[in-house]
Structure 1
């Protein structure tokens, strides 16, 4: 025998379920309505204006330059600019590697600039110009001798300069910080020969092609030299193999050659006088 369900028992439950659905729809519609009203009020009031602009990563040039490039101004609309347009404008500078513009909560804009690192300076007519890791010479000169990066001398050849910069970028930061000056010293035998003057008093002769792979061992080479009692600073040659020569030996040879040359000149003068 089938059980007969009394409809009067189900009516209250159905009414509660219907009321619950109705309340949910009302709350949902009310929330959406309030959100739309708040959004309209936000766009129509000063709450949607830019109140703060932050520039992050400005080292090579002042933040005011990037602010001008962006075209952003306090009290302008937060939504009156295109992020892509600002990023493209700032990225056009040779020293900028990348840029990111972000809108942050209601009325703050953040511009994050990733600049190419300054890895060296080049000396021209008594002034120093920063060289960036992408090979660009930044046209902001200084007559003061820089101490935060090595100085390049005799590097007018751009291809040679870029090749050296590529090698320097692969050096350990601790080793790079030890380099005071790099002179191009090419010869017929080695067009990539360079001479490095180190902050700790040593002189290094190297080949650009193998500079980073060999110079990264510089601290251990110096440690071996200075572990010997009575050691003397001098020249570390890593062009082909790796050998060391004290300054006294190097300059003694040079002095001996100079004396021999002068002596030979004196003998020739005496011979000329005798013949006369």
Structure 2
């Protein structure tokens, strides 16, 4: 078997040597340090919050970030539980882009005098907030199992229904342990059954449009509405 010899011309060798010298000089100079950081993909997190979690600052070098991007991503996601993934890319030889993918927010639960964010599959983040962020529903009186169930139901609802939901209440009765109540942003209230609410709520916009006054839409057994001043 013949061995091929790679021949490098004198000019080519000089180019390689110069390139290595320039590369070493660059990474050993202040020019190799991160100048600007641009965070993309954040919805409910703040850009500075992400930057602080990565611990990347003006003293960090791009080479160090690129070499340790895996461990930086893991530490960032561990510190900010709502982050699904973090990736990095560079531009202009000195600037850094942090691409963030968050778990979708499914709402908030009010407990211990604060609000806690609910993400995928009803998982509650251990981060106390003074008030909810964004237009997401509040969940009241649900145990952990029921919370996961109702949060997943909310995740599958049409967007025009999601944006109109203000708060879910667990409101069981002796006759129906699956009974829930829902406050809507348009002023109406909904009574429903957890086992059928996902299917029935898609009819809410049409039913609400036909109501002359604000009131109750009862979806627990059938599907009908009545004004607040009518007792049922």
TM-score category, normalised to shorter length: 0.7 to 0.9
The CA RMSD measured in Å over matched residues stands at 2.8
Question: Structure 1 residue 49 and structure 2 residue 33: aligned?
Answer: yes
Q: How big is the shift at 1:29? A: 4.0
Q: Structure 2: how far apart are the matches of 1:44 and 1:107?
A: 13
Equivalent position to 2:127, from 125, 139, 144: 139
Q: How does 1:121-136 map to 2 (within 5 A)?
A: 121-124=108-111, 127-135=114-122, 136=124
Q: How big is the shift at 1:76? A: 2.8
Q: How does 1:154-165 map to 2 (within 5 A)?
A: 154-155=141-142, 157-165=143-151
Gapped regions of structure 2 (runs ≥ 5): 1-7
Report the TM-score when normalising by structure 1.
Answer: 0.69
Please list the CA deviations of residues 216-263 of structure 1 after superposition, one character each: whole Å capped at 9, or x if unmatched.
Answer: 22112223x24xxxx3332212223322233333x2x5xxxxxxxxxx
The one of the two structures with greater contact order (alpha-carbon pairs below 8 A, sep at least 6) is 2
Question: Structure 1 residue 112 and structure 2 residue 94: aligned?
Answer: no
Q: How big is the shift at 1:164? A: 0.6
Please list the CA deviations of residues 61-104 of structure 1 after superposition, one character each: whole Å capped at 9, or x if unmatched.
Answer: 44444333323221332222401010110111322222112333
Change beyond 3 A, Cα 1:246–1:138: same
Structure with the higher fraction of residues in helix conformation: 1
Equivalent position to 1:218, from 181, 204, 221: 204
Gapped regions of structure 1 (runs ≥ 5): 1-23, 254-276
CA contact (8 A) 1:97 1:115 kept: yes
Report the TM-score when normalising by structure 2.
Answer: 0.80
Q: How does 1:1-276 map to 2 (within 5 A)?
A: 25=9, 27-81=11-65, 82-92=68-78, 93-124=80-111, 127-135=114-122, 136-142=124-130, 148-155=135-142, 157-223=143-209, 225-226=210-211, 231-249=212-230, 251=231, 253=232
Structure with the higher fraction of residues in strand conformation: 2
Q: Structure 1: how far apart are the matches of 2:115 and 2:20?
A: 59
3-state DSSP of counterpart to 1:216: helix
Change beyond 3 A, Cα 1:170–1:88: same
Change beyond 3 A, Cα 1:87–1:42: same
* Count, aligned residues: 222
Q: Which has the larger radius of gyration?
A: 1
